[in-house]
Every structure is written in structure tokens, then in C-alpha cells.
Amino acid sequence: MSAAEQYDAIVVGSGAGGGMATWRLAQAGLRVALVEAGPWYDPADDSQRTQFRYPWESPRRGASTRLRPFGDFNACIGGWELDGEPFTTAPDTQFMWWRARMLGGRTNHWGRISLRFGPLDFKRRDIDGLGDNWPIGYEDVKPYYDEVDKLIGVFGTNEGLPNDPDGFFLPPPKPRLHELYYIRGARAAGVPVYPARKSILTKRINNDRGVCIYCRQCDRACSLHADFSSSTVLIYPAVASGRVDVYTNTMVRKVDTGPDGSATGVSCIDRGNRQELRINGRSVVLAASACSTARILLNSISTQHDAGLGNSSGHVGRYLHDSTGASRAAFLPDLMDRDIYNEDGVGGMHIYTPWWLEDANLDFARGYHLEIGGGMGMPSYGFGFAANQYNEFLGQRVGGYGNGLRDDVKRFYGSRLSIACRGESVPQYGNYCELDPDVVDEWGIPVLRFNYRWTDQEINQARHMQDTMEELLEASGGILLGSKPGPERQYGLTQPGEIIHEVGTTRMGDDPATSVTNRFGQLHDASNVFVADAGTFVSQADKNPTWTILALAWRTSDYIIEQMQQRNL
Amino acid sequence: MNMNRRETLKSLLLAPLAAGAAATAGCAPGAPVHWTELPREYSYGRTEAEQQRDRELFAESWFSEHELVTIAVLCDIILPSDHPNGGALDAGLPDFVEFIVKDRENLKLPVRGGIAWLDSYAVNEFGADFVNIDEPQRLAICDRIAWTDVEDPVLRPGIRFFSLMRDLTLTGYYTTEQGLLDLGYQGNVANVWDGVPAEVLARHGLQYEPEWLDKCVDQSRRDIIATWDDDMNLTS
């Protein structure tokens, strides 16, 4: 069947990029079809709500499952493996792929860490000769970052740092106790530390959304809309405008194109009744996530686009890259026998360390930032495991039974300090996703096959991360836990895809021979098809990608509006 | 769910298998062991696939009655009920352990095999299954396998198993209402975080850096809508 209406724009995917495109295009008066593969989602709906649940409300006490890999109370419906939707990896390569299937996509579980890319991040080739420059610079994106800050809200502080730009920030929350220990340690080690930057409303931003009530449960999605999820902040208001139709549980097979090669709509399948559905539109905005967008393009084969839509350069799927990651933890004897009070705070860290060695001479090219963890969180499955393992450091026996274990649990509650590093990798032409010609998913859509290997750049960076984390944890008064991973474990480097910052598969550029879209996310090969997710990133900085996805999606949307006004679309 | 009221009790007789040696104290062979029954219906924002999975798990019988009783006795030894905040049986630990072992495939073999090891060891040492020996004998075994620094290769499987049961018991207990009370956890409620309490800072010999504090949110103005000047300074 076919939807009756000819939409001005069809937006595929409802995460950060799709939500922003939907909101902006609807605000400009366009009629928009928003297509989402998963169900409608409302964190305040009691049948979907996980916020403010106590651990015993889950029979598994919040333990992870294959259906909720980040824990039973996590908001994100999706995971590393989806029933009926496989993907493959080429021999001797690795890739982990997280897919959300719900309104708002992965913005339902992200860390809300909202970092602008800096001027250097758009021009890395100029600095280290590796990879490529973006065709645009910070000055092109800055006005959109500014608008995103004010529309969505982000706390942080203006520090005047050269590559971590200032913004229109809400004030940050005060640090927690373990964070004060980290600050002291970082000062002693000569490593900078600043208030974190997160899209959580520490102060009212409008009369529609609530203000943070410090439950630390952003990853459960906020029923007060006091943090940024694409659904609650962008899609609900867009739908309220009356100009948006949301097609949930609808999976896009391909973009349909006409005799002139431009898009006429999308072909989908309704996941509920398995019926085919065609949606017609004047333009198509792909924001299905970097890899899903590449998959849709590669599957959109036609006479005019015989290698897939937008793929005359052969670059769709190429330059796939993810952030690097490594982590370490320590036991802080200073934090034994704590006074117990409510220190939930906002979801995740109140402080962080941005990359501070831009000018250092190192054996890897790109930087990383440090995320700080710890505190007296709410118990869930896993709490109390190895309850008195730190006795080892106190010259006491580990193990036992009886009521004395209660004292052990309380003695060590909140005495752990952890650091997670998130870094920039160097994009490689040879790291890519492609269609696997032999495998389809349950909807009959050919699936992706991944080809990804880290290079020495990332491995050397991970070694540096490990040294840094040890130095900072010890400077904070910590006794290191576990062992330091060496070369046999690539220094604890996470797997490609594991940090869920995958970008680059439809990169932007001025040369149609080496890029998929132009600097506005418009396909070189089809002027009414756009990419509004992280596929257009030429390089993923040592920053989390969401704030840049939002800024670029807004910029692409403004370009679409302008092109329509000029009757170029 | 108020599990302080032990109104819903599950009971299983010790020694559901062969009759064991006579015992004198505590959970005597043949005596019932009671625990609070946990709910089997949950509603906390589940998808249809998740509801289906949990229905299947609750319908599945994985442990024998003997295994369940052994789990109950072990949980009770690890966290006994003679405490104002209740113990493992008050918190329904056997039901939790049963569910979580069914839910997590990697626990099934260690728990089943661990119980079998424990029974075999008890038979060798005292002539009957773990639940069918008397309480001093049970505690004598626990004393040998409760500490992780014991290197006796004969005891290692038991030590591994006991550590696992200790982990499951503590995690199961500290994720109940009694457990949060015992711990003193104060969170999971709407509140306004305004920094570490002054007395806690003093106890740790720490203070906020004044210039850092100046940047932080003034909670008395949190409800005033944010405005900025053109230089990115907050003005409200």
C-alpha cells in the first residue's frame, strides 16, 4: 500500500539527527513523515517507564539481558544483537553494532555528554597529515551549536579553551565527594579538570520541560524531560505542530528514485503486520545512524544508481570509525566508612578532563578525554559481589559469612573511583561496512558486513590512556584494581563500535569522487536526498558526537528549507 | 511490596531426599525452612518480548526441591535472619536465586555443580547431604570454604561455589527494601543536589575551590528561565 500524502520531507530515523531535522522542518512549515523502526516511546507512560523504579521492581534486580544489555532499567530498547536482524563481520576483523529500535533512538540511553568539536577537530589533516580535513570549519557550525545550546540546554562552563569551545551553558552541579578526590589528584598530577558538559537542565529553559531532580537516572530516560532525548525534546513538540506524521514500527528498505535519479520516496515494511508500505515525498532525510543509513543507500540500487544511491564514488560505508575507549578503577581507602547521604546527582559525572596534550610529542596522533565515575549509587544486580575484596589491601581476609558481611558492604560502599577514556581514532578507507550478498534479515533486506581493524595509532593511544589512568587514580589516593592490560590485550582498547560513536560512512566533502555528500549533507548524486546523522563526519573528534549531530542536522535542515524556498527542490 | 511482613511464606522441608542423621540445633533435618515468597508478576516498563521471556522463566522449573532447600540453607547461613533488618530468607533469597540462575545461563552449571560438590563433600565428611547433616557440621564445612585465601585444591571448587552464593545472596538482599534500609541508601527520590554536606567535607579535610563553586548552579534560581547575553554569560 502507499501512504496517500506526498510529504515535503521524509525523515528516516528518530534519534538526535532525525529528531532535529523533524523539529526544524516542521517548525518551518513543512509536512514531514518521520519513519522509525521501533515503537512510540514515552518515558512518563507507566507501561514504559523505568525511571524511579526500585531494584526489586525487576525480578532480576536490574541485571542486563540480551534485550537490555545496559541493564534491565535502561531506557534503550535495542542492543548488540537484534532478533531477526543479524549483521556479519569479515574474517579477522571486529565490529560491535548497537542499534536502538524506539522513538528517540539512542538518545534514550546516551550519557548526555555534550561537547562541541573545536576548530582543530575540523582540520586534523592540516595538523598531523592523517585522514582528511572537513570541508567546513568550526565557524560554519558555531552558530548552530549556539542555537542547539539555547534550544536544548546544556550545563558547563566557559573556560576559554582553544579546542573545547565555550557555549551558552547552564550552570553545572557541584562535584561529589569522589570527584573532589579526583580534582585534588588531577591538580597534583598537573592535569586539568573542569565541570562536565551535559545536556541536563540544572536550570529551567522553558515552561514545557522540567528541571533536573537529581536522580542520576538519565539512562532511564527522564519523565520530566529534564535531559535531552530526541523524543521528549524535539519530536513531541514537532508532532504537536500538526505537521508531522510518525510511522512507528516501520523499517525502511530503500530510497526509491525516479527516471531522473532523484528520490520519490521510501519503500518500507510495517514490522507489525509485515505489509509493504510506500511513502512519497519531495525530499528524503536519512538519519538512521551512520551504518543503517549506509545500508539503506547501498540497498537503494536502481538503473541510475547501480552501485547504490549516492555511491558513485564507492565511498558509502567507507571511513567507518568509532571512538577509542579504555577504563580503569581504584579503591580509595579515604572513602571507606562513608557518611551516607543522597549523592545521586545528575546522570553520570559532574566533572571531566578534556584533552590537554595537544602540543605534546606523542607516538599517536589524536587525543582523548577522561570521564570520572564513582559514588554511592543505587544498588542493582552486581552490588555486593566480592563484598570485602578490598580487605586484601587492608591485611584482612576476604570471604566469610554471617552478619559481619553487612559491615563489609557498608565499609566499602562508595569507595571506588573509576576513569573511562574516550579518544579519537584515525579514519581509514580500509575500515568499512558493505552489503553482505549472502545474508538478509527477516524483512528480506540485505544486511551489513563489517570490516574494521584498529591501527597502531589507536593501540598506542590506549597505552597512553592506561598510563594516564594509573597516574591519576594513584594521585587521587587510589589503590589500583585489576591488572594493567598490556599489548596482548591492545592495552585494554575497546572493540571497534563498542563506544557507539560510529561515524563517517557517508562523509561530506567538496570532491564527489572522494565523498558522499556535500558540505550540507546533500548527496552529490541526488539533490533531494540528505544525510542528517553522523555518517557525514569526516573525523570523529575526541568528543562525543551528539552535539555535532544536532548542530549539523539543524544546518542541513536550514539548507533544505532554503533550497525549497529557492525552488531548487 | 513490603517484605518485612512475612505474610507470604514458602516452606520446604529439609531432607526431602533420604532421611539424614539426627540433628539437634538450628535447621534440623526434617524441619521446615521458610522464606518470604517473592512476586511472580512484575510491571516496570517491559516490551512484549521481555514480558514473554519473563513468563517463560517463571514457568520453567530448573532446580529440584533438594537444590532449592540447599540454596535456602546456604543463603540463611550467609546472611542470617537474626538481625533487625532481616536476613536472606526474609528477603526471599531462594526465589531470587532461582530466578536469576534461570535467567543467566552462565550461572546454571556453577550452581548445580556447586550443590553437587557440597553434597558429595558432606557425605564424605559427615555421612549425609549438606542439608541432612546437623548445623555445627554445616558450619564446619562453611568455615573451610568461606575464605578465598585457602589454597587446598580439594576445597577450591567449594570455595568458588561459596563465593558465588555469597555474591548472589548479598546482591539479592541489598536490592530489596530491607537491603536498602540496611545500607542506608538515601537516593532514588526527587531532590536538589547542592554539594557534599559541610560536615562530610570537614571530616575528609576537603573544601570546594571558591572559583569552582562560583561557576556552579545557584539552586535558589533553578526555576528562573535561563537567559544569556551575546557573550555567552548567563544573565538570569
In chain B, what are the domain boundaries? 9-183
Check if the beta carbon of residue B100 is closer than 8 Å to that of residue B173: no
Say if B194 is an interface residue toward chain A (CB within 8 Å).
yes
Say if A402 is an interface residue toward chain B (CB within 8 Å).
yes
Residues of chain A in contact with residue B233, where contact means CB-CB under 8 angstroms, are: 158
CA distance B214 to chain A (A): 10
Say if B217 is an interface residue toward chain A (CB within 8 Å).
yes
Check if the beta carbon of residue A36 is closer than 8 Å to that of residue A246: yes
For the segment B42-70, the average pLDDT, to the nearest whole number, is 96
Residue B18: pLDDT over 60: no
- Percent of residues in chain A assigned helix, strand, coil, to nearest 5: 25, 20, 55
* Per-residue pLDDT band at B30 (split at 50, 70, 90): low
Q: Identify from A401, A405, A406 which residue to disrupt to test chain B contact, counting B C-beta atoms within 10 A and taking the largest count.
A: A401
All cell numbers assigned to A39 = 515503537
Domain regions of chain A by residue span:
1-41+77-151+228-323+428-453+499-569, 154-217+325-377+414-423+455-492
Residue B228: pLDDT over 50: yes
Q: What is the pLDDT of residue B9?
A: 60
Check if the beta carbon of residue A420 is closer than 8 Å to that of residue A452: no
When mean pLDDT is compared across A110-124, A445-459, A502-516, B24-38, the lowest value belongs to B24-38
Tell whether the torsion through CA atoms of B151, B154, B156 and B161 is positive or negative: negative
Q: Do B83 and A55 touch (CB under 8 A)?
A: no
Say if B167 is an interface residue toward chain A (CB within 8 Å).
yes
Q: pLDDT: is A406 or A110 the higher one?
A: A406
Task: Point out the residue among B180, B191, B194 whose CB comes nearest to the CB of A379.
Answer: B180
pLDDT tens, position by position, A302-322: 999 999 999 999 999 999 999
Instruction: Share the mean pLDDT of chain A.
Output: 97
Q: Do A405 and B49 touch (CB under 8 A)?
A: no
* Per-residue pLDDT band at B24 (split at 50, 70, 90): very low
Task: Point out the residue among B42, B184, B197 whose CB comes nearest to the CB of A57.
Answer: B42
Tell whether the torsion through CA atoms of B29, B30, B31 and B37 is positive or negative: positive
Residue B12: pLDDT over 70: no
For the segment B182-211, the average pLDDT, to the nearest whole number, is 97
Q: Do A169 and B234 touch (CB under 8 A)?
A: yes
Q: How far is CA B72 from CA A315, A383, B78, in A?
A: 60, 20, 10
Q: Do A60 and B191 touch (CB under 8 A)?
A: no
* Per-residue pLDDT band at A268 (split at 50, 70, 90): very high
Cα–Cα nearest to B75, from B84, B67, B63: B67
Q: Identify from B90, B185, B201, B208 which residue to disrupt to test chain A contact, counting A C-beta atoms within 10 A and taking the largest count.
A: B185
pLDDT tens, position by position, A24-79: 999 999 999 999 999 999 999 999 999 999 999 999 999 999 999 999 999 999 99
Task: Point out the residue among A213, A376, A398 whose CB comes nearest to the CB of B148.
Answer: A398
All cell numbers assigned to A210 = 522540567
pLDDT tens, position by position, A465-494: 999 999 999 999 999 999 999 999 999 999
For the segment A267-288, the average pLDDT, to the nearest whole number, is 98
Provide the total of helices (H) and of strands (E) in chain B, helices listed first: 9, 2
With a CB cutoff of 8 Å and minimum separation 6, the contacts of A100 are A15, A38, A76, A77, A78, A106, A108, A109
Q: pLDDT: is B30 or B157 the higher one?
A: B157
- Fold entry, domain A154-217+325-377+414-423+455-492: Cholesterol Oxidase; domain 2 (3.30.410)
Residue A556: pLDDT over 90: yes
Q: What is the pLDDT of residue B17?
A: 37
For the segment B116-134, the average pLDDT, to the nearest whole number, is 96
Say if A413 is an interface residue toward chain B (CB within 8 Å).
yes
Q: Chain A residue with minimal CA distance to B189?
A: A215
Residue A178: pLDDT over 50: yes
Query: For residue A31, what is the DSSP state?
Result: -
For the segment A145-165, the average pLDDT, to the nearest whole number, is 98
Residues of chain A in contact with residue B98, where contact means CB-CB under 8 angstroms, are: none
Q: Do A67 and B142 touch (CB under 8 A)?
A: no
Q: What is the pLDDT of residue B14?
A: 63
Instruction: Share the mean pLDDT of chain B.
Output: 90
CA distance A390 to chain B (A): 12
All cell numbers assigned to A234 = 524535539
Residue A502: pLDDT over 90: yes
Say if B175 is an interface residue toward chain A (CB within 8 Å).
yes
Residues of chain B in contact with residue A62, where contact means CB-CB under 8 angstroms, are: 175
* Per-residue pLDDT band at A563 (split at 50, 70, 90): very high
Q: What is the pLDDT of residue B15?
A: 45
For the segment B85-92, the average pLDDT, to the nearest whole number, is 96
- Residues within 8 A of A (CB atoms), B 42-61 only: 42-45, 47, 49-50, 53-54, 57-58
Residue A1: pLDDT over 80: no
Q: What is the pLDDT of residue A385?
A: 98
Q: Do B79 and A406 touch (CB under 8 A)?
A: yes
Contacts of B180-186 with C-beta under 8 Å, sequence gap 24+, read B180/A54, B180/A55, B180/A379, B181/B85, B182/A406, B182/B83, B182/B85, B183/A340, B183/A379, B183/A409, B183/A410, B183/A413, B184/A340, B184/A410, B185/A340, B185/A376, B185/A378, B185/A379, B186/A340, B186/A341, B186/A342
Q: What is the pLDDT of residue A4?
A: 79
All cell numbers assigned to A282 = 519531495
Q: What is the pLDDT of residue B32?
A: 81
Q: Rounded distance, CA A61 to CA A383, Å?
A: 10
Q: What is the pLDDT of residue B8?
A: 55
* Per-residue pLDDT band at B26 (split at 50, 70, 90): very low
For the segment A272-286, the average pLDDT, to the nearest whole number, is 97
Helices (H), A321-455: 404-412
Q: Rounded distance, CA A165 to CA A163, Å?
A: 6
Residues of chain B in contact with residue A158, where contact means CB-CB under 8 angstroms, are: 232-233
Q: Chain A residue with minimal CA distance to B198?
A: A177
Question: Which CATH number is A1-41+77-151+228-323+428-453+499-569 given?
Answer: 3.50.50.60
- Residues within 8 A of B (CB atoms), A 296-355 only: 334, 339-346
Query: What are the beta bridge partners of residue A399?
Result: B147
